Chains A and B, each alone.
Chain A
Amino acid sequence: MPQQSCPLTSKQVVDLYFMEHRAKLLDIAAFLDRLERSKGDEGLQDVRVRALKKAIPLLTDTSCENQANRVHRVLELLSDHTAEPTPAAHTQSALGADPNTDY
Chain B
Amino acid sequence: MAYIDPHVHMVSRTTDDYRRMAQAGCVAITEPAFWAGFDRSSPAGFYDYFRQLTDVEPKRAAQYGIAHHCWLCINPKEAEDPVFAREVMKLIPEFLKKPNVLGIGEIGLNKNSRNELIILEEQIELAKQHQQLILVHTPHLEDKLKGTRITMDALTNAGIDPGRVLIDHIEEHTVAEVLDRGFWAGMTLYPDSKCTPQRAVDIIECYGNERIWINSAGDWGPSDPLSVPKCHVEMRRRGHTQKLVEKISLENPLSFLRQSGRFMLPESV
Contacts and interface: CB of A to CB of B under 8 A. Distances in A.
Interface of A: 2-3, 5-8, 16-17, 68, 71-72, 75-76, 78-83, 85-99
Interface string B144-173: 111001100000000000000000000111
A11 B112 CA distance: 43
B242 interface: no
28 contacts: A3-B206, A6-B202, A17-B198, A72-B172, A75-B172, A76-B173, A79-B142, A80-B112, A80-B142, A83-B146, A83-B150, A85-B114, A85-B116, A85-B117, A86-B113, A87-B113, A87-B114, A88-B115, A89-B116, A90-B111, A91-B111, A92-B111, A93-B140, A94-B111, A94-B140, A95-B142, A97-B141, A99-B142
Given A7-B239, A80-B146, A86 B173 contact: no
Interface of B: 35, 77, 80, 110-117, 139-146, 149-150, 171-173, 198-199, 202, 205-206, 237-240
Nearest to A4: B205
A94 B112 CA distance: 11
Contact of B173 (A5, A16, A75): A75
B116, B173, B205: residue with the most chain A Cβ atoms closer than 10 Å: B173
Given A68-B206, A79-B146, A86 B114 contact: yes
Given A76-B145, A94-B143, 13 more contacts: A6-B202, A7-B239, A71-B202, A72-B173, A75-B173, A80-B142, A83-B149, A83-B150, A88-B114, A89-B110, A94-B142, A95-B142, A97-B141
A92 B240 CA distance: 39
Closest 6 CB pairs of A and B: A89-B111, A94-B141, A94-B140, A5-B205, A75-B173, A89-B113
A27 to B, nearest CB: 12
B248 to A, nearest CB: 15
Contact of B115 (A8, A68, A82, A89): A89
A85 B239 contact: no
Contacts of A2: 206
Nearest to A69: B172
B142 A97 contact: yes
Given A5-B206, A7-B240, A95-B141, A79 B111 contact: no
A30 to B, nearest CB: 17
A87 B116 CA distance: 10
Contact of A8 (B139, B140, B206, B238): B238
